[in-house]
Amino acid sequence: MTKPATAAPPPPRLYAAREPVFPRRVAGSFRTLKWWIMAATLGIYYLTPWIRWDRGPALPDQAVLVDLAGRRFYFFMIEIWPHEFYFVAGLLIMAGLGLFLFTSALGRVWCGYACPQTVWTDLFITVERWIEGDRNARVRLWKQDWDGRKLRLRLLKWSLWLVIAVATGGAWVFYFADAPTLLADLVTLRAHPVAYSTVAILAATTFVFGGFAREQICIYACPWPRIQAAMMDEETMTIAYRDWRGEPRGRHRKAEGAERLGDCIDCLACVVVCPMGIDIRNGQQMACITCGLCIDACNDVMDRVGKPRDLIGFLALSDERRERAGEARRRVWRHVFRPRTIVYSLLWAGIGIGLVVALFLRTDLDVTIAPVRNPTFVTLADGSIRNAYDLRIRNMHDTERTFRIGVRGAPGLALALEGRDGLDLAVPADAIRIQRLYLTAAAASALATGGRSPVEIWASDIDGRTRAEVETHFQGSAP
């Protein structure tokens, strides 16, 4: 009896250090598109708080402003109050459906082009390449021991990253306060501590996520890659390597048997440009963010070796079968227009139309009423029955307006306002006023001795242009 000659191999380690990724510079149509989208998204983010929009003297003149203290959201000509939060909810639902639509049609193009993590990582890599050189120089610098040059380059890179990071955190707080005032306050150290801590936290996350974590965020931290599979099917356009054309791969074109080789010359151009550090030739995988840079790189190589382009390209899974069988691909629009994307588009457009209609129907006056239910009615000395209500008037207009209050639907009810003569109520510009109302039914009248009777309270602008009504009940002495 002898023991087995070889011991079992040690179990693989469960944790591995991050493999650093050094994406090489690449040129091509997808890279150009990525530059344009990067410029547009960064431009929108950094510049939007500085757009001015005149709303008169009573209101802020910042086009996009989230006024948390005043509980208002200003967006150009729109001013949203807290009770109109469904507009924001609707926009969020549209954003979600838009993401579904793009993912089901074109895969993870959001991840590859427009996601802030991608955009800022791209920006940080651009800075890195500008200071330390392209891929090979960066790999060398990474491997070499620390010396004066490495220290200088690293410090320069980190300080530029830090400038971008602080500007990014800084731009965020401008959405929540008047940007020019806040900038002056921030610079002169007079701003609120919350502003500084927000800038600091966002600067830190930008610096770490864009500079160091990069693709780790997409692979390990972001939930989107996990749920995107539910939106994709075999008609979704994703990035694919045509292995039926490329394999067997080989780089020695003049060696014996080279005529059996496929189009892939195994130059690794698609691997070294990939910001996620993956090899697309292994097939569609979770880490792929569908940015298309490998397509640019491969097309460049194919042009130079005189082979047809699109060895790597946007391809639907269903096309793979056709291409393998030697058939033509279906046209892109036939992949894109299919029941799933049409349903997403219809839902998206339906909510959008609903929001636009709601926007046009909304008035700058809103009235709600809360009957006082403790007690439900009060008997007065002359035997009449009185109900009390709390009327809440929102004047969503930039001037003070006076409203006449009235009651309709129950003849014989006398209306009075607590603490004031007459039925007129002035509400300051852009403000809420709460007013106690009394409705009184004469002694022994049908309303006084009855149960619940429906009534309508209305408020109307003195010049009669704006009017709002709200339904409630009058409670008589009968249960």
Partner 1 sequence: MPAWWLWTFYATIAFALVYVVLYPAWPMVTRATGGVLGWSTRADVAAEIARFEAANEPMFARLLATDPAAVAADEDLHRFAVAAGAAIFRAQCSQCHGAGAAGVQASGFPNLLDDEWLWGGTTDAIVTTVTHGIRNETDPDARYSQMPAFGEELDAEEIEDLVAQVRALSHQSHDAARAAAGAALFETNCAACHGAAGEGSRDLGAPVLANAIWLYGGSEAAIRQTITFSRWGVMPAFGARLREAEIRAVALYVHQLGGGE
* Interface with partner 1, residue 175, by CB under 8 A: no
Instruction: Tell me which residue has tokens 């307006």.
Output: 401
User: At closest approach, how far in Å is the CB of 365 from partner 1?
Assistant: 21
Phi-psi region of 274 (alpha: psi -120 to 50; beta: other; left: phi over 0): beta
* Interface with partner 1, residue 428, by CB under 8 A: no
Q: Which residues pair with 34 in a beta bridge?
A: none
User: At closest approach, how far in Å is the CB of 164 from partner 1?
Assistant: 22
Return the H-helix or E-strand segment holding 468.
strand 467-475
Instruction: Name which of 188 and 374 has its Cβ closer to partner 1.
Output: 374
- Rounded to whole angstroms, the Cα distance separating 124 from 197 reads 23
Among 419, 422, 464, 479, binds partner 1 (CB under 8 A): 419
Q: Which stretch binds partner 1 (CB under 8 A): 16-24, 138-146, 277-285, 357-365?
A: 16-24
Give whole-number Cα distances, 450 to 369, 387, 477, in Å.
21, 13, 6
Strands 424-427 and 413-417: unpaired
Instruction: Name which of 199 and 388 has its Cβ closer to partner 1.
Output: 388
User: At closest approach, how far in Å is the CB of 23 from partner 1?
Assistant: 18
The Cβ of residue 428 has, within 10 Å, a number of other Cβ atoms equal to 12
Structure tokens at 262: 């496929």
- Rounded to whole angstroms, the Cα distance separating 299 from 239 reads 13
Strands 365-371 and 424-427: unpaired
User: At closest approach, how far in Å is the CB of 313 from partner 1?
Assistant: 31
User: At closest approach, how far in Å is the CB of 216 from partner 1?
Assistant: 6
- Rounded to whole angstroms, the Cα distance separating 54 from 242 reads 56
Contact 176, 66 (CB under 8 A): yes
* Interface with partner 1, residue 400, by CB under 8 A: no
Please provide residue 336's backbone torsions phi and psi, each rounded to the nearest 5 degrees: -70, -45
User: At closest approach, how far in Å is the CB of 209 from partner 1?
Assistant: 13
Tell which positions 210-239 bind partner 1, by CB under 8 A. Answer: 216, 220
Among 436, 445, 453, 473, binds partner 1 (CB under 8 A): 436
Over its C-alpha atoms, the chain yields an Rg (Å, rounded) of 33
Q: Which stretch binds partner 1 (CB under 8 A): 8-16, 250-258, 275-283, 349-357?
A: 8-16
Instruction: Name which of 19 and 147 has its Cβ closer to partner 1.
Output: 19
User: Quick one: DSSP state of residue 314?
Assistant: E
Among 40, 137, 378, 478, binds partner 1 (CB under 8 A): 378
Please provide residue 193's backbone torsions phi and psi, each rounded to the nearest 5 degrees: -55, -35
* Interface with partner 1, residue 75, by CB under 8 A: no
User: Contact letters (x/-) for partner 1, 43-62, by CB under 8 A?
Assistant: --------------------
Instruction: Name which of 382 and 463 has its Cβ closer to partner 1.
Output: 382
* Interface with partner 1, residue 375, by CB under 8 A: yes
Return the H-helix or E-strand segment holding 41.
helix 29-47
* Interface with partner 1, residue 380, by CB under 8 A: yes
* Interface with partner 1, residue 154, by CB under 8 A: no
* Interface with partner 1, residue 283, by CB under 8 A: no
User: Contact letters (x/-) for partner 1, 333-372, by CB under 8 A?
Assistant: ---------------------------------------x
* Interface with partner 1, residue 69, by CB under 8 A: no
Please provide residue 154's backbone torsions phi and psi, each rounded to the nearest 5 degrees: -65, -45
- Rounded to whole angstroms, the Cα distance separating 29 from 175 reads 34
* Interface with partner 1, residue 386, by CB under 8 A: yes
Among 45, 176, 438, 458, binds partner 1 (CB under 8 A): 438
Instruction: Tell me which residue has tokens 């940080």.
Output: 124
Length reported for the chain:
479
Residues 6 or more apart whose Cβ sits within 8 Å of residue 18? 216
Instruction: Name which of 187 and 381 has its Cβ closer to partner 1.
Output: 381
Q: Which stretch binds partner 1 (CB under 8 A): 38-46, 117-125, 305-313, 376-384?
A: 376-384
**SS3 label, residue 9:** coil
Closest C-alpha among 265, 273, 279 to residue 134: 273
User: At closest approach, how far in Å is the CB of 138 from partner 1?
Assistant: 20
The Cβ of residue 308 has, within 10 Å, a number of other Cβ atoms equal to 11
Q: Say how many residues touch partner 1, by CB under 8 A.
A: 23
Among 54, 145, 382, 463, binds partner 1 (CB under 8 A): 382
Among 144, 363, 379, 449, binds partner 1 (CB under 8 A): 379
User: What letter represents residue 60's amino acid?
Assistant: P
Return the H-helix or E-strand segment holding 88.
helix 86-106
- The footprint of partner 1 (CB under 8 A) covers 14-18, 216, 220, 372, 374-375, 378-383, 386, 388, 418-419, 436, 438, 443
